[in-house]
Structure 1
Amino acid sequence: MTQHYILSLSSLERYHQQLIEDERSPETIVKYLRDIRHFFTFLSADKTVDKETVISYKKHLSQHYKGSSANSMLVAVNGLLTFLGWSECRVKLLRIQRQNFRRADRELTKDEYQRLLHAAKHKQNERLYLLMQTICATGIRVSEHRFITVSAIKTGYARIVNKGKERVVFIPAELKGPLLRFCRAHGVERGPVFVSRSGRPLDRSNIWADMKRLSQKANVPAEKIFPHNLRHLFAITYYQLEKDIIRLADILGHSSVETTRIYTATSGVEQKKLLSRLGLVECG
C-alpha cells in the first residue's frame, strides 16, 4: 500500500536547521533550500507526498533541466525525504553518460585569462585583478577566498576548511608582494583580504558580475567568464604540467578522483585531432 505524507513549511524549516547543524556550507544550504522550495511548489495544493509524486517530479525535472541540474535538485529532495523518515519516497538519480571531453566553447584559455587580467588592470580594479589571480593560481573555490587572509599571505599558505574537510593551499611567492601592498593600501590589517566596504568577504554573485563586465574590453565571450572557470584553468594547467591526478585531487579538495577527471579530460578539439592522427580513414 502506497504511503502518503503531508509536507509542511515547518518541516522545511526543521530541515534547514539540520543542514546548519550538519555544518553544510552556506552556499550548499541556500541551494538545498531553493531546490526543496521548488519541489514544494510542484506539489498539489494539499502538499501530499508519495513515491508516485516524487517520480512525477523527477520526470518534470528531466523535461525542463539538464541532467546534471535535475540530479542536483533530486539530491536535495532525497535528503529532505531521508531527514523526514520518508525514505521509501526517494528516487534514483537520472542516468547520465559521462562526457569524456571538455567543451571548448565554455573553456577559458590561458590567453583569455590574461586578457581578463589586463582588462581589470585597465579599469583600475586592482581588487578584482588580484582576486582572479589568487583563485587561478591556487585552484581554490570562489567561496574559499575568505580563507586568503593577511596572516595566510604572510605565512605563504592558507588552511581551507570546507565541506567538513581541511586542506592546505600554498600561495605563490609572486603573489605575496602584490597582495600585501594591496592590504596596506586599503587598510586591511587582519582577516580576509577580499572584502566589501562593510568588511564582509565578497559575495560570489558580485565577483561574477564584476568579471562579466570585463567581457567586451577583454574580447572574451561572456559565457566563458565565471569564477569557477579560473579554478578549472588551474586544474587543466597543473595536470598538463605534472600529470598527477591524485595530487591534483588533494589540492582541489576533491573526495573522489572521479570528480577530478572532469578537469583532466581532453578538449573536443584535442580529441578530434587525435582521431585524425590515428590514420584509420582512407578517402579518395
Structure 2
Amino acid sequence: MSENRYVTEESLIRFQGFLQQEERSAGTIEKYMRDVKNFAAWIEDQSSVPSGFSCCEVTKNTAVRWKQYLLQSGRAPSTVNSMLAAVNTYFKFMCWQDLRIKAIRLQKSFFRSSDRELTKTEYEKLISAARRKGDEQLVLLMETICATGIRVSEVRYITREAAAKGRTQISLKGKLRTILIPGQLCRKLQKYARKKGIGSGELFLTTGGRRLDRRQIWAKMKALCGAAGVAREKVFPHNLRHLFARCFYRASRDISALANMLGHSSIETTRIYLVSTEDVYAKKIARLGLVQRTK
C-alpha cells in the first residue's frame, strides 16, 4: 500500500453524496453514515494519541480487528454483517478494495423465532389501542403499511391523488412498481384528507406540515405496546410489511406476484418473509407420530 488512508469529514460528505446518487433510501444512508462514523471513532479509540478520527490511519489489520470487536460485543451476527456491509461500501467508494472485510457466514434458518413475529391478532390490538388513544393518523398509517405492504420509507407516496385513484407508483432503487390501495382504505384516506384540509400531496404529515420520518413512526408504534398488550420487540413498521406478505401468500399462494408487490428483485428475498415460526414446525414434527405415548 503506497498511500496512507484516513476517514475524513470531507470523504464522508462525498460518500453521503455517492449514496444519494445511488438512490439509496434515506434510512439506508443514515445507517451507512452512522456505521462508518462508528468505525472511524473505534479506530480513534485504539490510537494511543487521540486527535480526531481523520488522523487515524485505516489498515486491513484495523478493519479485521474491528470485525472481531463487533463479534465480541454481543451483537447479533446479522447486525455485524450489516455494519460490515456499510464499511465495505465506503471502502469501495474510496477505491480501497484491498481493505474489504469478509462477512460472517450464517447458516440459513428454516424457521423464524415467534418472539418477533407480529400476528394478525396482535396487529388488531395495536389498531384498537391507537383508536382508543384518538390517534387517527397512526391508525391509518398502520393500516396503510399493512394493507399495501409498502416500506416505511415509501409512505410518502401515499398522497391525496393516490387515494382518489386507488393506486400509486413507487420509484425506489432504480425500480418502478405500482401499489394498489384497497377501496375501503381509499375511502378512509380521502375522508382523513378532507378533515385535515389536504387538497393534494402527501397525507402523513406532522402538525407542522413536515413528512413523518422513520423514527417518529417507530416511536408512535412503540408507544402503543403497553396499552395493546403486545411485546415491544414485535412492534416496528417493517413487521407490518411482513404481516402483509404472509397474509397475501396464504390467500394467493403466488410467491412471484408477492415478490412484485414487495418490490423484490429475487424471489429468494421474498421467501425470507414467508418462513414459518418455530411453533409451526414443532406442531408439524409432533404430528409425525414418531414418539410413542407412555401408558
TM interval, shorter chain, is over 0.9
Q: Normalised by the size of structure 1, how large is the TM-score?
A: 0.95
Matches within 5 A, 1:192-203: 192-203=202-213
Q: Which amino acid aligns with 2:71?
A: S
Q: Who is 2:127 aligned against?
A: 117
- What's the counterpart of residue 54 of structure 1? 63
Identity %: 46
Preserved CA contact (<8 Å) 2:147 2:244: yes
The Cα offsets for residues 38-57 of structure 1, whole Å up to 9 and x where unpaired, read as 11011134411121211111
- Correspondences of 1:223-262 after superposition (within 5 Å): 223-262=233-272
Per-residue CA deviations over 1:147-166 (Å, capped at 9, x if unaligned) read: 00010111110111112211
Does residue 38 (structure 1) correspond to residue 68 (structure 2)? The answer is no
Select between 132-141 and 217-226 the one with higher mean Cα deviation: 217-226
Provide the residue aligned with 2:175 in structure 1.
Answer: 165
Deviation per residue, 1:213-263 (Å, 9 max, x gap): 222221212221111111111011111221211111111111221211111
Q: Contact conserved, 1:2 with 1:50, CA < 8 A, in 2?
A: no
Q: How does 1:183-222 map to 2 (within 5 A)?
A: 183-222=193-232
CA–CA separation in structure 1 for the residues paired with 2:67 and 2:2: 18
TM-score using structure 2 length = 0.92
Whole-Å separation in 2 of the counterparts to 1:2 and 1:103: 48
C-alpha distance after superposition, 1:8-62 (max 9, x if no partner): 2222222122112222222111111001001101113441112121111111112
Matched to 1:61, the amino acid is L
Does 2:125 correspond to 1:142?
no
Uncovered stretches (5+) of structure 1, i.e. residues with no partner: none
Corresponding residue for residue 280 of structure 1:
290
What secondary structure, in the 3-state scheme, does the structure 2 residue paired with 1:79 have? helix
Could you tell me whether the CA contact under 8 Å between 2:26 and 2:153 is conserved in 1? no
Alpha-carbon separation, structure 2, partners of 1:106 and 1:20:
31
User: Per the alignment, in what secondary structure is the counterpart of residue 212 of structure 2?
Assistant: coil
**Residue identity in the other structure for 1:26:** A
Partner SS for 1:161 = strand
Tell me, yes or no, if structure 1 residue 94 matches structure 2 residue 104: yes
Match of 2:14 in 1: 14
Structure 2 distance, partners of 1:255, 1:261, is 12
Separation in 2, partners of 1:160, 1:278: 45
- Aligned structure 1 segments of 4 or more residues deviating by more than 3 angstroms: 1-4
Using the alignment, how far apart are the partners of 1:240 and 1:279 within structure 2?
26
Q: CA deviation at 1:282?
A: 3.0
Alignment partners' CA distance in 2, 1:221 and 1:84: 42
Residues 148 and 192 in structure 1, CA contact (< 8 A), matched pair in contact too: yes
Contact 2:22/2:173, CA 8 A, preserved across alignment: no
Cα deviation, 1:99-129, whole Å, max 9, x if unaligned, reads 2112111111111111111111111111111
CA contact (8 A) 1:142 1:204 kept: yes
SS at match of 2:89: helix
63-72 vs 7-16, which moves further: 7-16
What letter matches 1:222 in structure 2?
R
Which amino acid in the other structure matches residue 239 of structure 1? Y
236-245 vs 179-188, which moves further: 236-245
> For 2:191, which of 181, 203, 208 is the aligned residue?
181
Q: 1:283: Cα distance to partner?
A: 5.2
Q: Is the 8 A contact 2:77 2:104 kept in 1?
A: yes
* Alpha carbons 1:2, 1:51 under 8 Å: kept: no
Whether the 8 Å contact between 1:3 and 1:50 is mirrored in structure 2 is no
Asked if 1 retains the 8 angstrom alpha-carbon contact of 2:145 and 2:152, the reply is yes
SS of the counterpart of 1:69? helix
More off after superposition, 203-212 vs 125-134: 203-212
Give the aligned CA root-mean-square deviation in angstroms. Answer: 1.6
1:2/1:62 CA distance change after superposition, 3 Å: farther
CA contact (8 A) 1:107 1:224 kept: yes
User: Which deviates more from structure 2 when the two are superposed, residues 209-218 or residues 83-92?
Assistant: 209-218
